[in-house]
């Protein structure tokens, strides 16, 4: 691998025009109001902390906007690298003592560095928009459960297999209101099975689908969670895998940090695919191909290909908007990204090996 060639690829991935565009777009997005009207109404009612909710929405908005508007440029720049070599640079690159695989790896290293700079920039702008940060909360685990309809007065009871509950941890339940009336009164309770008696409960009246949260007792697990309807007409269902463990983290900025890690992995995978396709196709076709594959992964979401980092990015952004830091990328996401990168680099190296230069 050659660091000089990696630096050249980095420079080509982030040309001055793209950097200027990024700065202008960031300024535009920073000047945009991200606080929606319903949020202001809820803040007036005192049901949410307006500062932290506004921060969360600004953080989510800036991340989504910058990824949507700038990442395609980065992918397009990656798709340009190998066609550029093919147009004539092979003459000095291929005559060098470096192997073609080494050349492809060096170029990719530069692209991965460009992706890192890009996500650090996104995170900085998002945090600038989010403003002052207080202690944050993160999604720590999700417990498997099927979709269950809460019929009649019979509560839904679920065992939560957890060791000692972390300090300040809570269980969050995602609830769907599926018609039959305007609202439902609900009681969510959790108790430590072993401690026998320490029950934490919360009550709420829901008029739309949403979340209910209850603080976990400081105790050894396992725990038992029960959800019951205490009034109202609406039919209620517990969403599939809708029981989540939420734990405190040092800062709300942890959300951006974890989004940056996910975005970097997703970008690295897309850039490798764009680089690889560029060895076989024209630059525009390679760029469109890589972006189409990325879009397919994003639309498929975490249900179809949960391991792909891009597939879970949509959900991570959604959690960020709810004021929760998404989990760190899982080892499956790391493996899936590494596999995609290897695939892209294999395509690139194979393409370079078979190039013939027309006179």
Q: Which residues bind other proteins (CB under 8 A)?
A: 2-5, 8, 11-12, 87-99, 103, 355-359
CB 9 within 8 A of CB 117: no
Closest of 94, 83, 3, 89 to residue 348, by C-alpha: 83
Nearer to other proteins, 3 or 342 (CB): 3
Q: How many CB atoms lie within 10 A of CB 149?
A: 12
State in angstroms the smallest separation of the CB of 111 from other proteins.
16
CB 355 within 8 A of CB 89: no
Nearer to other proteins, 39 or 113 (CB): 113
Closest of 352, 299, 348, 306 to residue 329, by C-alpha: 306
Q: Would you call 139 helix, strand, or coil by DSSP? A: strand
State in angstroms the smallest separation of the CB of 273 from other proteins.
24
State in angstroms the smallest separation of the CB of 80 from other proteins.
13
State in angstroms the smallest separation of the CB of 12 from other proteins.
7
Nearer to other proteins, 45 or 358 (CB): 358
State in angstroms the smallest separation of the CB of 85 from other proteins.
9
Nearer to other proteins, 87 or 132 (CB): 87
State in angstroms the smallest separation of the CB of 100 from other proteins.
9
Beta strands 156-160 and 223-232 are antiparallel
**DSSP-assigned beta bridge partners for residue 159:** 224
CA distance 318 to 153: 32
Burial class (CB in 10 A: 0-12, 13-18, 19+), 68: exposed
Nearer to other proteins, 68 or 358 (CB): 358
Nearer to other proteins, 6 or 175 (CB): 6
Compute φ and ψ for 104, nearest 5 degrees: -65, -40
């Amino acid at each position: 691998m050659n660091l000089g060639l990696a630096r050249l690829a980095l420079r080509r991935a982030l040309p001055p025009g793209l950097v200027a565009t990024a700065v202008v777009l960031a300024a535009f997005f920073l000047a945009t109001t991200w606080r929606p009207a319903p949020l202001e109404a809820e803040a007036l009612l005192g049901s949410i902390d307006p500062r932290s909710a506004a921060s969360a929405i600004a953080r989510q908005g800036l991340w989504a906007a910058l990824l949507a508007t700038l990442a395609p440029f980065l992918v397009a720049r990656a798709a340009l690298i190998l066609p550029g070599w093919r147009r004539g640079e092979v003459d000095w690159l291929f005559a060098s003592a470096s192997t073609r695989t080494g050349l492809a790896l060096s170029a990719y290293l530069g692209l991965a560095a460009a992706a890192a700079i890009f996500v650090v920039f996104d995170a900085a702008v998002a945090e600038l928009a989010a403003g002052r940060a207080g202690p944050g909360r993160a999604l720590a685990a999700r417990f498997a459960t099927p979709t269950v309809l809460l019929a009649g007065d019979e509560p839904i009871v679920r065992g939560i297999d957890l060791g000692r509950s972390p300090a300040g941890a809570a269980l969050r339940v995602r609830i769907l209101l599926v018609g039959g009336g305007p609202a439902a009164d609900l009681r969510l309770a959790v108790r430590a099975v072993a401690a026998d008696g320490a029950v934490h409960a919360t009550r709420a009246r829901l008029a739309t689908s949403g979340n209910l949260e209850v603080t976990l007792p400081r105790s050894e697990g396992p725990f038992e969670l029960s959800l019951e309807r205490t009034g109202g007409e609406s039919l209620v269902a517990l969403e599939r895998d809708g029981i989540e463990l939420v734990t405190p983290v040092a800062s709300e900025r942890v959300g951006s940090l974890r989004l940056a890690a996910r975005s970097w992995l997703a970008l690295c995978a897309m850039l490798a695919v764009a680089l690889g396709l560029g060895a076989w196709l024209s630059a525009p076709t390679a760029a469109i191909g890589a972006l189409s594959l990325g879009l397919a992964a994003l639309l498929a979401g975490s249900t179809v290909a949960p391991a792909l980092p891009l597939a879970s990015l949509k959900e991570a952004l959604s959690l960020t908007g709810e004021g929760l830091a998404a989990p760190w990328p899982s080892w499956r996401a790391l493996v899936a990204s590494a596999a995609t990168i290897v695939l892209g680099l294999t395509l690139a190296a194979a393409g370079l090996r078979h190039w013939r230069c027309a006179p």
